[in-house]
Structures are given as structure tokens and as C-alpha cells.
Amino acid sequence: MRLNQGVEWSVHVLLSLAWLDDDRPVPAADLAASYDLPPAYLNKQLQALVRAGLLRSVPGARGGFLLAQRPEDITLMDVVAAIEGREHAFQCTEIRQHGMGEDAPRSSFRRRCAVDAAMQHAELQWRKALASRTIADIRAEADGHAPSAARIARKAYGRD
């Protein structure tokens, strides 16, 4: 499974906003510049996060984006769903009923496809793992690995 770059960008933006810990919005252009990202493409990700209720958009000259929820309440699964959608990664098309299985009796296919069951189980575990990690968890881990990261983010957005 390969995730869109927008997922990575979105998690970093949410992390940066969590480090700011204030109610002043950050313009999309500033968020893009701080990670050297294409502003128009990042803005599409930001709008998806707004639609998902993870960010709040503030219009106007002093507008921008703010967290819409506490970092403790935003999971990595929320971010993936906002950017990638909620569709299952694996879609069984029942190919076992075609080709060499074409002439098999219909009773052979009453039970769920074992391949589909295995793939759905794996995806469920992946989704549970993502749902168990929050932006606050990522912030705590990043703070432990790079204690100056929060200070750098606050400085980048004029918060120091």
C-alpha cells in the first residue's frame, strides 16, 4: 500500500500547529514555505483536513488555519481518511469464480474468499494501529527525538 504525499504533509502541518499551541491562524503560504512545499497542492490537503473537521479555516487578511480539535483527539487514521478517503485498500473481485474456477459448483463459493479475508484482516490491523496514535503522541515522540523542533516551528511562524 502506498499513501499519497499529502498524508505526510498533513501530519507535519498538524504537528506544527500543535507545537504553536495558540489561537492565531497560520496562512497556507507560510505552512507551505516552512516545508518547501507547493502552496496550491498543500492547500488542497488543508481543505481536505478542514472538510474532515481536523483543521479550521479562518478567512481574511489575518486568516489561515488552526487545529479544529485537540492534538490528543486527532488520530493518524483521521488524517489518512481525510486525505485518502475511507475506501478499503483491497477490493476482492472474486476472480476465483473465473478461469479455472468457472466450472466449479456455486456451492464452492458460499464461504468468503480466503484471500479477501486475509487482506481485510491485515487492513483492519493497520487501521487500528493508525487509530491508536494521535498527533499528541507524534508531538511527544518528536519532542524526545528533536527537542528544538517545537522552538524552530514557533520561530518559523513568528511565535517566539
pLDDT of 144 > 80? The answer is yes
Domain extent listing, the chain: 5-156
- pLDDT, one tens digit per residue, over 67-112 is 999 999 999 999 999 999 999 888 888 888 888 888 887 887 888 8
How far is Cα 65 from Cα 94, in angstroms, rounded to an integer? 44
17 and 66 in contact (C-beta within 8 Å)?
Answer: yes
75 and 132 in contact (C-beta within 8 Å)?
Answer: yes
* CATH 1.10.10.10 is right for the domain spanning 5-156: yes
Q: Report pTM.
A: 0.88
